[in-house]
Amino acid sequence: MVATDQLVVGCIDAIAEKDPRGAVREVLERAVASRRLVDAFGNPAAGLNVLHNAPDLTVLNVVWPPLFSLYPHDHRMWAAVCIYSGREDNAFYTRRDETIVSSGGKELLEGDVQLLGDDVIHAVHNPARTYTGAIHVYGGDFIAKPRSQWDAETLEEQPYDLSTVRREFEMAESRFKAHRTDSGHP
The domains found in the chain, sorted by start residue, are: 3-172 (2.60.120.10)
- Please tell me the predicted confidence (pLDDT) of residue 8: 96
Q: Could you tell me the strand order of the sheet in which 99-109 lies?
A: 99-109, 87-96, 121-125, 69-74, 148-150, 157-159
The SS3 call for residue 149 is strand
- Please tell me the predicted confidence (pLDDT) of residue 185: 56
Contact indicator for 149, 73 with CB cutoff of 8 Å: yes
pTM above 0.85, yes or no: yes
Contact indicator for 138, 56 with CB cutoff of 8 Å: no
Q: Which residues of 129-162 are buried (b: 16+ CB within 10 A; e: fewer)?
A: eebbbbbbbbbbebeeeeebbbeeeeeebeebee
Contact indicator for 7, 37 with CB cutoff of 8 Å: yes
Expressed in angstroms, the distance from the first to the final Cα of the chain is: 34
- Which sign, positive or negative, has the C-alpha torsion 94, 166, 3, 37? negative
The closest of 28, 41, 40 to 132, measured between CA atoms, is 41
- Please tell me the predicted confidence (pLDDT) of residue 177: 81
pLDDT tens digit at each of 186 positions of the chain: 467 889 999 999 999 999 999 999 999 999 999 887 887 876 667 889 999 999 999 999 999 999 999 999 999 999 999 999 999 999 999 999 889 999 999 999 999 999 999 999 999 999 998 999 999 999 999 999 999 999 999 999 999 999 999 999 999 888 888 876 555 555
- Please tell me the predicted confidence (pLDDT) of residue 1: 44
